[in-house]
Amino acid sequence: MATRATIGSIRRRVEENIGREIILRTHSGRKKYYTKSGIVVATYPSIFVVNIDCGTNSERHVSYTYSDLLTSTVEITIEDTNQGLLA
């Protein structure tokens, strides 16, 4: 079971990577995964926001919860080091 300390440590790791480019892999059910690249823009007490580049001059803000990272619904890899955020 997730505790406040666990969610808090995940939040701190996300906060350390604000402004860095990441690779975001999201699980959308039935063995479907979507991979996108983006930048961590902001963190809040319950969510964090990622700015995803959608192509020619368009961007999209997407928010995820820290429990999405905890349950592996969302996986983040830091693009500079190719290391997972929770690794």
CB 22 within 8 A of CB 69: no
Distance CA(87)–CA(55), nearest Å, equals: 30
Percent of the chain past pLDDT 90, that is, above it, reads: 62
The tens digit of pLDDT for each residue in 29-57 reads 888 999 999 999 999 999 999 999 877 77
The tens digit of pLDDT for each residue in 6-15 reads 888 999 999 9
CB 40 within 8 A of CB 17: yes
For 76, the token pair is 């983040």
List, in order of start, the domains of the chain with CATH numbers.
4-82 (2.30.30.100)
The answer to whether the pTM exceeds 0.75 is yes
